[in-house]
Structure 1
Amino acid sequence: MTAPAVARLATIRRNRFTIGQAVRLAVLIAGLLLVLYPLAWVIGSSFKSDAEIASNISVLPTEFTASHYTAGWNSFDVSFTRFFINSSVIALLTVVANAVSCLVAAYAFARLRFPMRGFWFAIMIGTLLLPGDVLIIPQYIVFNTLGWIDTPLLPLIVPKALATEAFFVFLMVQFMRGIPRDLDEAATIDGCSPYGVFWHVILPLSRPALVTTAIFSFIWTWNDFFTQLVYLNDLEDYTVPIALRLFIDSTGQSSLGAMFAMSVLSLLPVFLFFVAFQRMLVEGINTSGLKG
């Protein structure tokens, strides 16, 4: 094949590759716009008047107004600051409780030898098949007997400190199984007890799994509506998801502008938390062991 023919063939291949890239990029952009449109519409609607929200389906408002943010923040007898504080406290305590309890339980299942370990691990995995709606009634009866209703930290935080989130236990168990046991044996030879192995070997290497647990715990708790609605009855104890529901009263009247404005603000903590730890989240999901 002559040199000009080779050059033409290379040019055709480059053009085909470029066209293929352009098509894939266009498809990705179209999908991204489709996914982000509802979020963009909510943000745009927070700057529209209530009348325009019902009539204008475009993202951009025709008449820009930021009054909904002030009105929404002070719509109730309790400022929205209180709701954000309640959600932050509950979410952060849940993160700590889930991370600590699930890590300890996962270490026991992944590294320690005890009677009927496989049976108890199977029981733990089996709890993943139980919907939360099935468990809420017996849980409510137990917590009501203990006098924990209307005490927001007890029914929402204490169960998390008992490693009741089987998903996170399973996640950490799978991660720990990828850590070479040679490290445990080396630490044992150096005089470490099982507690020392956990503290000096497993805990530092489990950071990606801990961050993954922390991110999902924070997001799920921050967005939780049903569980918090069941156990929280006082306005001062309400969290952000329950407070957003207050913008629609029993008569069906709603303050859509204020509700959208507060919804936008409620997304910021989750977004910032995810952005801060996204690299470690991907590492925690993808890591199957140690490389090097």
Structure 2
Amino acid sequence: MAGARRWAGLLALLVLLAVVLYPLLWMLGTALKSPQEVVSNLSLWPQHLTWANFADGWNALPGITFGRFFVNSTLIAAAVVVANMVSCLVTAYALGRLRFPLRKVWFAVMIGTLLLPQHVLIVPQYVLFRNFGWINTPLPLIIPKLLATEAFFVFLMVQFIRGIPAELDDAAKIDGCGPYGVFRHVILPLSRPALVTTAIFSFIWTWNDFFTQLVYLNDPTTYTIPVALRTFLDSSGQNQIGPMFAMAALSLLPVFLFFLAFQRFLVEGINTSGLTG
């Protein structure tokens, strides 16, 4: 009976894996199909491999290769990762450890911002950034992150910091550390799992973001990958589906490699109580 249950569970996992991987396999198969096969061949795998889709997609826009979009996305994603890690940790330390007037009120306000849809804020933000002259630059995508605007990550780090025993702070204070010393020598080293979790999700969300980047980036030289992929549908329609999926497949590689490199720390951040090392 136990063996039957184990095989049934394994079969269920395989079925679930097939359902999850099917869109990815379909995308890879379409990336290797010719324009004729895209509309005539409904099977998962192409009859004749068409590697030219990758070259055509890489040089689809006149005067700009797809490598430019990879560079733009990488720079923006890297800057957002660093900004979120620094600003959210400092803010979480203040809300989770320091004592100041209206601390609980500000924490409640911060949590309340999670209820605001992004589309409600986009118009006033656009007007503000236009007055700053930041439209068509990466600044609207990066600078707000320096102000700890990602309430989800602040909340995540606050809960993580609260799990670190306060006795460690007291021991550091006995050794002569002030608030900055406690942050530097106690909170920062023990917050590595939370920081890595923030970095992973910040990178993935920024890399895949389409709406915000479409609003602020109008010049093709500033496009990121999600915005650049949209241009395939505007140019030649059906004949560009193969190159579009080829570039979409390439755009998944950085996300996959980034997650693969830091997945151990992500699991550690989920399981740890704050006392690591």
Measure how far apart 1:35 and its partner are: 1.0
Cross-structure match for 1:60 = 45
1:252 CA displacement = 4.5
- Give the 3-state SS of the residue equivalent to 2:254 in structure 1: helix
Cα deviation 1:19-70 (Å, max 9, x = unaligned): 1111110011011101100101101111111121222222211011100000
Task: Letter of the 1:139 partner, please give it.
Answer: Q
> 8 Å contact 1:211–1:277 — kept in the other structure?
yes
- The SS at the match of 1:34 is helix
Per-residue Cα deviation, 1:147-187 (whole angstroms, up to 9, x for no partner): 111222x1110000000000000000000000000000000
AA in 2 matched with 1:273: F
CA distance in 2, matches of 1:160, 1:35: 32
In structure 2, distance between residues paired with 1:275 and 1:188? 39
Distance, in Å, in 2 between the alignment partners of 1:282 and 1:57 is: 38
Is 1:50 the counterpart of 2:22? The answer is no
Asked if 1:116 corresponds to 2:75, the answer is no
Q: Are 1:147 and 2:96 counterparts?
A: no
The alpha-carbon deviation at position 231 of structure 1 amounts to 0.5
Which residue of 2 is the match for residue 279 of structure 1?
264
Whole-Å separation in 2 of the counterparts to 1:37 and 1:266: 18
1:291: Cα distance to partner?
7.4
Q: Which runs of 5+ in 2 are unaligned?
A: none
TM-score of the pair, normalised by structure 2: 0.97
Mapped contact 2:191–2:274 kept (Cα < 8 A): no
Q: Over the residues paired in the alignment, what is the CA RMSD in angstroms?
A: 1.3
Mapped to 1, the partners of 2:219 and 2:79 lie a distance apart of 20
Q: Give runs of aligned pairs for residues 123-162 of structure 1, distance below 5 A.
A: 123-152=109-138, 154-162=139-147
Question: For residue 262 of structure 1, what is the aligned residue in structure 2?
Answer: 247
Determine what percentage of the aligned residue pairs are the same residue.
Answer: 66
Task: Report the TM-score when normalising by structure 1.
Answer: 0.92
Aligned residues of 2:35 and 2:239 also touching (Cα < 8 A): no
- The farther-off stretch of 177-186 and 140-149 is 140-149
CA deviation string 1:45-98 (max 9, x = no partner)? 111111212222222110111000001000112110100000000000000000
Q: In the TM superposition, what is the alpha-carbon distance from 1:251 to its structure 2 partner? A: 7.4
Q: Verify the 8 A CA contact 1:175 1:287 in the aligned structure 2.
A: no
Whether 1:24 aligns to 2:9 is yes
1:175-214 matches, cutoff 5 A: 175-214=160-199
- 1:99 is matched with which residue: 85, 96, 104? 85
Matching residue's letter, 1:116:
L
Amino acid at match of 2:213: Q
Residue 236 of structure 1: aligned partner: 221
Q: Structure 1 residues 51 and 74 mapped into 2: Cα distance closer, same or farther (>3 Å)?
A: same
1:87 aligns with 73
Q: Is the 8 A contact 1:101 1:162 kept in 2?
A: yes
Q: State the partner residue of 2:158.
A: 173
**Per-residue deviation at 1:120?**
0.2
2:113 counterpart letter in structure 1: T
Contact 2:114 2:152 in 1 (8 A): yes
Q: Which has the larger radius of gyration?
A: 1
Task: Give the total of aligned pairs.
Answer: 276
Q: For the structure 1 residues 291 and 245, does the alpha-carbon distance in structure 2 shift closer, same or farther, using more than 3 Å as the test?
A: closer
